Amino acid sequence: ILSAAEVTGADGIHPGYGFLSENADFAEQVERSGFKFIGPRSETIRLMGDKVSAKHQMRKSGVPTVPGSDGALPDDPDEILRNARDIGYPVIVKAAAGGGGRGMRVVHNEEVLLSSIEVTQSEAAAAFGSPVVYMEKFLQRPRHVEIQVLADQHGHAISLGERDCSLQRRHQKILEEAPSPLVTSDLRQRMGEAAVNAALSVQYEGAGTVEFLVDDELNFYFMEMNTRIQVEHPVTEQITGYDLIEEQIKVAAGESIADYQVQLTGHSIECRINAEDPDNNFRPSPGKITNLHLPGGHGVRVDTHVYSGYTISPNYDSMIAKIITTDRGRGEAINKMKRALDEFVIEGIKTTIPFHRKLMDNEDYIKGVYTTKFMEENNF
């Protein structure tokens, strides 16, 4: 990539949102080779990529965090047990270097705590190259609400509102929407301020996401920061009118965001279409797409790389498309999504389209009452 940048005379390198986008070593090599890395500085990626140091940094800056161990778990088993008693069960053991919903384990009682920690440590070492784990209170039925931030090189940072990503399967998002049906304008204001403080405290640059868990009483707690553009960024683009990729490039080129005014208009929903079989426990379903017809029309956006004749490899992530519908209100956006899902024809593989169709008819989803436990509780 660096050689390609050299021969083409590029000024900067956009890391996409795959594995290079949160790789501090890559960002550092880009910086050292004299190119602009489109994203935050490598030190910021390193700091926020380690969930233990990120949480520590946030606590220092006054951002509320999920109650838990003060940093990585100690070696002394008695201290760990005391720690967990103080936090109160259930607790969740999480890998400092974890991501993608992997490297975490919920523990309901003391008897299995130490063995669960050991298993998580060895899994973390194998998957992420670091056995460091920490522990926090496992919130029983939270919402996952995240704030999109944008920061320039001149000390300005703004919030572009929230996304609700509570609909998850095995801690992995499957549907996202903006605004969140739960968030009031007062909560939006407070979470936005916390996220902007978080960004300013690490001299953040570029687009980033500050993830929070929100409990029943609308208390919110910092969980982690993603220092890249995210899969679900389109819903924010749709309701703010900002093209986030363009903004990433502009701030990397040194432009100021001092006069940006963010207004949220309408409602936007994104369904992740994965090559998985929802009737068979969401088993991956790679293979050749024999026929494809994408939905379209007013307020329907489809982001995808696939085409008729394309073969989905079993070696990569199973997400193959995102359908994003936008309308004046949430109900209209749901109706539009139903139509778009019905119009989507894809043959040769199984996809999560039938699952999303069912979801759009679910009463609780329609009411906007759901938590991260939704899938489990509804036997999807």
Q: How many residues bind ligand ADP, per CB under 6 A?
A: 20
Residue 176 lies near ligand ADP (rule: CB under 6 A): no
For the bound state, the minimum distance from the C-beta of residue 227 to ligand ADP, rounded and expressed in Å, comes to 12
Stretch that binds ligand ADP, among 22-30, 37-45, 92-100, 278-286 (CB under 6 A): 92-100
Pairing of strands 267-274, 319-327: antiparallel
Indicate if 228 belongs to the active site: yes
Beta bridge partners of 221: 213
The interface with ligand ADP within residues 39-68 (CB under 6 A) comprises: 66
Please select the residue that binds ligand ADP; options are 73, 93, 139, 196, rule is CB under 6 A. Answer: 139
Q: Whose Cβ is closer to ligand ADP: residue 169's or residue 350's?
A: 169
Q: Among residues 95 and 321, whose Cβ is nearest to ligand ADP?
A: 95
Query: Please, which residue, 208 or 295, has the CB nearer to ligand ADP?
Result: 208
Which two structure tokens, joined as six digits, stand for 318? 């199973």
Residue tagged active-site, from 143, 228, 272, 301: 228
- 168/248 with CB nearer ligand ADP: 168
Look at residue 320 and give its three-state secondary structure: strand
Site mask for ligand ADP (CB under 6 A), range 338-377, x = bound: ----------------------------------x-----
Give CA 349 to chain center in angstroms: 26
Count CB neighbours of 4 within 10 A.
9
Task: Name the amino acid, one letter, at 261.
Answer: Q
Least distance (Å) between residue 321 CB and ligand ADP = 21
User: In angstroms, what is the minimal distance from the CB of 90 to ligand ADP?
Assistant: 8
Should residue 92 be labelled a site residue for ligand ADP when binding is judged by CB under 6 A? yes
Q: How far is the CB of 221 from ligand ADP (least distance, A)?
A: 8
Is the Cβ–Cβ distance between 201 and 157 less than 8 Å?
no
Structural tokens at position 51: 């969930």
Distance CA 230, CA 147 (A): 11
Q: By CB under 6 A, what part of segment 198-257 binds ligand ADP?
A: 211, 213, 223-224
Judged by beta carbon, residue 100 or residue 254, the one nearer ligand ADP is 100
How buried is residue 280: exposed, middle or buried, by Cβ count under 10 Å (0-12/13-18/19+)?
exposed
Distance CA(160)–CA(150), nearest Å, equals 7
As a whole number of angstroms, the longest Cα–Cα distance in the chain is 61
Question: How far is 81 from 2, CA to CA, in rounded Å?
Answer: 48
Task: Answer yes or no: are the C-beta atoms of 320 and 275 closer than 8 Å.
Answer: yes
**Residue 283 or residue 373: which is nearer to ligand ADP going by CB?**
373
Which own/partner pairs from 366-369 qualify as long-range (CB within 8 Å, at least 24 positions apart)? Answer: 366/331, 366/334, 367/181, 368/181, 368/182, 368/330, 369/181
- The set of catalytic residues is 228
Binding interface with ligand ADP (CB under 6 A): 66, 92, 98-102, 136-139, 142, 144, 168, 171, 211, 213, 223-224, 372
